[in-house]
Structure 1
Amino acid sequence: MPSHLLRGLRSALAVTALAAAGLAPAAAAAPAAQAAQLAARVDNPYTGAGVYVNPEWSARAAAEPGGSAVADQPTAVWLDRIAAIQGGPGAMGLRAHLDAAVTQAAGRPFVVQLVIYDLPGRDCAALASNGELGPTELPRYKAEFIDPIAAILADPAYAGLRIVNTIEIDSLPNLVTNAGGTATATPQCDTMKANGNYVNGVGYALGRLGAVPNVYNYIDAGHHGWLGWDSNLDPAVQLLHQAATSAGSTVADVQGFVVNTANYSALREPNFTIDDSVNGTSVRQSKWVDWNRYVDELGYAQAFRQRAVAAGFDAGVGMLIDTSRNGWGGAGRPAGPGPRTSVDSYVEGGRIDRRFQTGNWCNQSGAGLGERPAASPQPGIDAYVWVKPPGESDGASSRIANDEGKGFDRMCDPTYTGNARNGNQMSGALPNSPLAGHWFSAQFQELVRNAYPPLGGGSADSTAPSVPAGLRSTAVTASGVSLAWTASTDNVGVTAYDVYRGGVLVGSASTPAYSDSGLSAATAYSYTVRARDAAGNASALSAALAVTTSAGGGGGGSAGCSASYAVSSDWGAGFNANVTVTNTGTTATKSWRVTWSWSGNQQVTNLWNGGLSQSGQAVAVVDAGYNGAIAPGASAGFGFGASYSGANAAPALTCTATS
């Protein structure tokens, strides 16, 4: 019998069991035919279904500048404390959300997404997301949190909904990396591993909720920058299997796994793969990848699913990827790979995830909205989802008294550089953030600005354009080369072709032709081309073309540049800005340098697409290598975040260039 039919049969039998246990109203003990019809799960709940738009989140999003463009997107409802079940003044409870979902469904297949998140000793390796229950309060978790939720979900009024649960984010992954003698162990995680309350709590939640016929449980499985190393991935899969077969649960109660929940890891890194190497050195050896087996969430999710099935989970399990904040768009998004001068230059110059380190998790500066929610976007992936509602804070940037059990974690402090798990890098957090789960207007506006695919365009298409073919030179002089190639084909249309000279991006074209100027006479050059589409996908590089410029004449010309400065956001104690560098000379630049002096007490806290040095009020930024070459009239640039108090006047910039 197919696995999904086995799950459906088990769920049908569970209707009677729920009624007998007092968890469901007596009406749930329906005639067998009706119960079987209600209990028939599908392999992927998102297929052919609408998805619930939380009216509370939608209203907050719509009230923000530009927020109306995404206010109709479905986001998850977080049940992160006992009081959230009933709701309260100004806040909808679980029944209110389910009633609203029934109305939105209007009789069609319809998904409502919940986050089940109140384990005893919750989030043992952090402080910002600690919860209300102490490490030993498993009985309260069962009786006051899971049992009431199960009773509400079993109400026949909601039997037509497909209820998708994300089960206890961060809990089990923390036991893999932060407990039991690991270098990053914490006393709280050691306690939770020793008393078994994470494992048994997750097992209890899976069994109780999985007994409701129209519920789909997805266990949180961390992200690639957490569990992607060989030493973490298999132990994590085994621990999740242990939880799924504990406290009354079986693997039939697990419909899949969710990754990147409330995190920022890129869905795809388009400019390099784990199989790339530079001068014989693997990408795995770069400082950013650090021997990880994966470079993005899509590859990690597909691999995790295969490992889970091999470990004994149902062959029909699927994966969800939270794409709510991993778009990494905006002016700082690299247009192509970094230079092949070293593996670190190659990865650093091309990576779209612009965090200082993959362990940075709190209110990350420069992040953007990612792929919009979509069903079955890739093999093995049930859906891209927005589990973390964009605009809800990860944690407070300073200590705030509260009655929610939430502490102050220095990883939410933009000035913090002292976390060994993070390699003592900067936290990358935005300033002035509120408590976890509270609305953070500045973050929402930054996510909207940096959305990728951009708002108002793009799509969730994930098919890369075909590789540009037939690259050839149509004209060669002593100082320039004209190139042409066959146009690429693509599902959503090619928007640009990136041209690389010697592995360094030198320009882009909207049509399959490009003129490269400012070259040296009688010199050999090598060119490749990559196509990009409206959804942000990039093709592989074309075959290389070797061209030698003609003798005589020389390149000639002079080098020069100008720099313009624009603030993209300002929240009173900090701001983000972009600097555009334009080649004003008659020959291509090889490098550039921008300098200025602040008129106040501004300090750059993080910078992308350039190299930073600052001393007091003096700031100097040089190109990042991959963006040093600028053709005459063309532009490149960099962006940064900074803190300040008082006035924030724009500085006067000075730009110098070499050719």
Structure 2
Amino acid sequence: MSRTSRTALLAALGLVTATGATATVFGATAGAATPGCKVDYTITNQWNTGFGANVVVTNTGDPMSSWTLEWSYGGNQQVTQGWNATITQSGAAVTAKNMSYNGALATGGSTSFGFNGSYSGTNAVPATFKLNGVTCNTATQPTTPPTTPPTTPPTTPPTTPPTTPPAGTKVDNPYAGAKVYVNPEWSAHAAAEPGGSKVSNQPTGIWLDRIAAINGSGTSMGLRAHLDEALKQKGSGELVVQLVIYDLPGRDCAALASNGELGPTEIGRYKTEYIDPIAAILADSKYAGLRIVTTVELDSLPNLVTNVSGRPTATANCDVMKANGNYITGVGYALKKLGAIANVYNYLDAGHHGWLGWDDNFGPSAELFKQAATAEGSTLSNVHGFIVNTANYSALKEDHFTIDDSVNGVSVRQSKWVDWNRYTDELSYAQAMRAKLVSLGFDPNLGMLIDTSRNGWGGTARPTGPGATTSVDTYVNGGRYDRRINPGNWCNQSGAGLGERPQAAPATGIDAYVWMKPPGESDGASKEVPNDEGKGFDHMCDPTYTGNVRNGNSMSGALPDAPLAGKWFSAQFQELLKNAHPAL
């Protein structure tokens, strides 16, 4: 930005309600192509001694390759921890500088960063901001935001003071009293989208879905780079880093879109080239102060129950993986190696209710989880908990019907949607699966995670009451939040929305709601895309596909023009924002 900007315009400053105070500030005179800047400073949550804030910086002038934002507080506010910017403070003066990945701002370009802070008394929004020395506003101070603690704890950080355990001792719930790592790469993608700054400060999972992801490549951050950034975000409190361990041999034998790089027999490479290097990095004493949550091998073990011979849903690939035992071997090895690290918390994948909620899937899957958890010298103690609904869309809680309801003497279980399943939503399924696993010998304090990144199902299609009692199908279909054509549909679902924001200990037996699947990252391409990651083309990602036995021979419900799995999918992200519940 040119340092010869014109006199700044007076900015409109205002407050939002209990969610926090906001100031939008501008700099530049009227007229096109005039150097200037716009800053949105939002207090995202606030309690009696602290607050969280999000800052969106928009360049309305000449392109810039780096930026420095400055402001001063009118009270005793102190920044305690930040992300997506290097933030320093001297007295009341605060300086935020770009990171290596978000310094370039084209004309009209935006980026965002966030931070947590402490205060006492009042917590007024700063009146003046300077971007690269250019004043963005000269407004007067707004009214002081309310200091009443929120009715529910803020997502990041929880209001409960952190409790530091003795060295080498795991806490019962790693999310309690802790902030959660905000992935700057995902955050930058989200902030660049229209409306994305509303969620760009949310924590998401880091997917280590191939060997190359460990060290990173090109502009992509590797594991150490993420952990180093996490140390900066941590500050003096506790911080959780969420990793997805996802590279088994013959990975995801029933869904081609998420096939992996390792062949069915390459268990040796999995151990020595994938798990061992990850474990070595996590065991570095430099990172001992982080709480590292590993979600282990999503969508793997359940396939050995539901998609093998004897089932109409069987695939040849899943038969191979059941026969060679490499899913069991790989999971056991990963749990043992990672579980031996004092600050690592393993959460094993447990599918979702629309997959394992039937009697002939539920019990056998739990038994298989135990078998894997005790393979390769691992023990049940290496499993801190389980995660459900990862990268899926099943509703958190259906409010308008229960599994015990009936219509004209016909059980809800007999409806076409429920189809004799024992569960109607993820919360009831997660709690029941937890009880089953404890009965099999897992720790009585076992905790569950539920991925709520894409199961909000809000917007105008969200029902406000039960369906008509004309039949059991009209009753269920009219009242269900989950608007998928079939609960077996899993790829880039049309109509989906962001779900509950990440939060600790939201319900009995649940350690946290998490966004393990980063919203806006594709589930799979809508047509074949050549790639070097081993990811194939799955017809379930094709919006014209008429289905198979695994989704009741229904249409796929997928969005069109989707990129390769894991790549940024702007149309999906915009759909999730539009249909978010709770609304943004």
Tell me if both proteins adopt one fold, taking TM over 0.5 as the criterion. yes
TM-align CA RMSD = 1.0
Matches within 5 A, 1:512-531: none
The aligned amino acid for 1:50 is K
Q: Give the distance between the partners of 2:229 and 2:550, measured in 1 at CA.
A: 42
> Equivalents in 2 of 1:425, 1:300: separation in Å?
24
Q: What is the match of residue 209 of structure 1?
A: 338
The number of aligned residues is: 421
Q: Give the Cα–Cα distance (whole angstroms) in 1 for the partners of residues 198 and 312 of structure 2.
A: 44
Which residue, out of 224, 227, 236, partners 1:98? 227
Q: Is the 8 A contact 2:312 2:549 kept in 1?
A: no
Measured after TM superposition, the shift of residue 423 of structure 1 is: 1.2
Residue aligned with 1:38, SS: coil
Checking the alignment, whether the CA contact within 8 Å between 1:141 and 1:201 is kept in structure 2 is: yes
Of the three residues 285, 304, 308, the one matched with 2:433 is: 304
* Deviation of the 1:420 alpha carbon: 1.8
Aligned equivalents of 1:367 and 1:223: distance in 2?
17
Counterpart AA for 1:324: S
Q: Does residue 378 of the first structure (1) align with residue 507 of the second (2)? A: yes
SS of 1:216's partner is: strand
Q: Deviations over 1:260-283 (max 9, x none)?
A: 000000001111111111111110
Aligned to 1:316: 445
Where in structure 1 are there 5+ consecutive unaligned residues? 1-35, 456-659
| C-alpha distance after superposition, 1:294-321 (max 9, x if no partner) | 0000000000000000011111110000
Counterpart check, 1:166 vs 2:277: no
> Counterpart of 1:142?
271
1:339 aligns with 2:484: no
* Structure 2 unaligned blocks of 5 or more: 1-164
Structure 1: distance between partners of 2:167 and 2:323: 40
CA distance in 1, matches of 2:292, 2:549: 39
Amino acid at match of 1:436: A
- Superposition pairs for residues 91-240 of structure 1, below 5 Å? 91-240=220-369
Matches within 5 A, 1:179-578: 179-455=308-584
Quote how far apart the aligned CAs of 1:221 are. Answer: 0.2
Residues 598-617 of structure 1, C-alpha deviation per residue, up to 9 Å, x if partnerless?
A: xxxxxxxxxxxxxxxxxxxx
Corresponding letter in the other structure for 1:361: W
Whole-Å separation in 1 of the counterparts to 2:450 and 2:456: 13
Question: Letter of the aligned partner of 1:363 in structure 2?
Answer: N
* Corresponding residue number in structure 1 for 2:204: 75
**Residue type of the alignment partner of 2:416:** K
User: 1:495 corresponds to which residue?
Assistant: none
Larger radius of gyration: 1
> Cα offset for 1:40?
1.0
Overall identity of the aligned pairs, in %: 74
**Residue aligned with 2:511, SS:** strand
Amino acid at match of 2:535: K
1:49 counterpart residue number? 178
- 2:510 maps to a residue whose letter is I
Q: Work out the CA distance in 2 between the residues paired with 1:185 and 1:282.
A: 29
Query: 2:250 touches 2:263 (CA, 8 Å); kept in 1?
Result: yes
Any conservation in 1 of the 2:494–2:558 contact (CA below 8 Å)? yes
Relative to the length of structure 1, the TM-score reads 0.63
Tell me the amino acid that sits aligned with residue 447 of structure 2: G
Which amino acid is 1:427 matched to?
A: S
Native 8 Å contact 1:38 1:160 kept in 2: no
SS at match of 1:375: strand
Does the CA-based 8 Å contact 2:495-2:575 persist in structure 1?
Answer: yes
Distance 1:236 1:155 in 2: 34
- State the one-letter code of the partner of 1:166: T
Q: Which amino acid aligns with 1:422?
A: N
Structure 1 contact 180–193 (Cα < 8 Å) conserved:
no
Shift of 1:335: 1.1
Which range is displaced more, 335-344 or 299-308?
335-344
Give CA-to-partner distance per residue, 1:169-192, whole Å, 9 cap, x none: 000011110014221111100000
1:418 positional shift: 3.2
1:320-358 CA distances to partner (integer Å, 9 max, x unpaired)? Answer: 000000000001111111011111110011011000100
Deviation at 1:88, TM superposition (A): 1.1
The offset of 1:37, in angstroms, is 3.2
Between 259-268 and 172-181, the greater mean CA deviation after superposition:
172-181
**Given residue 216 of structure 2, which amino acid in structure 1 is its aligned partner?**
G
Instruction: For 2:212 and 2:166, locate their aligned partners in 1 and report how far apart those are by CA, in whole Å.
Output: 33
Deviation at 1:123?
0.2
Alignment deviations for residues 98-138 of structure 1 (CA, whole Å, 9 cap, x no partner): 00001100121110000000000000001000000000000
